Amino acid sequence: MKKALYLLAQLSDRDFEWLLTAGRRLAVPSGRSLIQEGQPTDALYIILDGTLAVCVEAFGGETIAELSSGEVIGEMSFVDSRPPSATVKAMADSTVWSIPRLKLNAKLMHDVEFAAHFYHAVAVFLSDRLRDTVSRLGYTKNNTLDEDEDLNPQVISNLELAKARLDWLLNRLKEAP
C-alpha cells in the first residue's frame, strides 16, 4: 500500500486542499540526494513519480529500501526535529511534492483541527512502519510482507477516499507544466 494513503485517509477535504496549495512540485534528477543523512531537512515529501533509494552510512551507504510513487519521506525528522538517519537519493529521474517545514509548522501551530488530523495520520503511518519492520526482522508469527494484508482499521474506513485523493493529486500534477 502506498504510505501516503495513511496521511490522506486521516485528512479532511480542507486539510487536503491546504497541502495542495502549500506544496510544490520538485524534480529530483537521477543520482541527486533529496535528503542527506545527518543534515537538517526543510520539507516533508510525497513521491509523485520515480524511485528513490534509502541508504544508511552504518551499512556502508548500502541501499536498505526503495521508495516509489505515493511514499512519504522526511516525516521522522519533521516530527522529532532531529537530522535524518538516512540518505534518500533518486535512482531515476523522480518528482516529489514538497511541503516546506516552515509552512507546515505554521499551519500546525494555528490550526488545531489540521494538527490533530496530521499528527494522527503520522502516528498511524509510523506505527504501521514499525510493525512492518518488526515483521521483517522475524519477531512475529506471521512474517508476510504483503502490505495490503492486515490493514490498519483506521485506514480501511477512509481507504477509497485516500486512494481517490492520491490518484487525483498524481494525475493533476502530471498534467501541469
Lowest mean per-residue pLDDT among 102-106, 133-137, 173-177: 173-177
Residue 92 pLDDT level (bands cut at 50, 70, 90): very high
Structural domains of the chain, ranges and CATH numbers in brackets: 4-175 (2.60.120.10)
Query: How confident is the model at residue 164, as a pLDDT?
Result: 75
113-140 pLDDT per residue, tens: 999 999 988 888 788 778 877 877 776 5
Q: How many residues does the chain have?
A: 177
Is 31's pLDDT higher than 90? yes
Confidence bin at 39 (pLDDT 50/70/90)? very high
* pLDDT for res 139: 65
SS (H, E, C) the chain: CCCHHHHHHHCCHHHHHHHHHHCEEEEECCCCEEECCCCCCCEEEEEEECEEEEEEHHHCCEEEEEEECCCEECHHHHHHCCCCCCEEEECCCEEEEEEEHHHHHHHHHHCHHHHHHHHHHHHHHHHHHHHHHHHHCCCCCCCCCCCCCCCCHHHHCCHHHHHHHHHHHHHHHHHCC
Average pLDDT, the chain: 82
pLDDT of 177 strictly over 60 = no
Record the pTM.
0.77
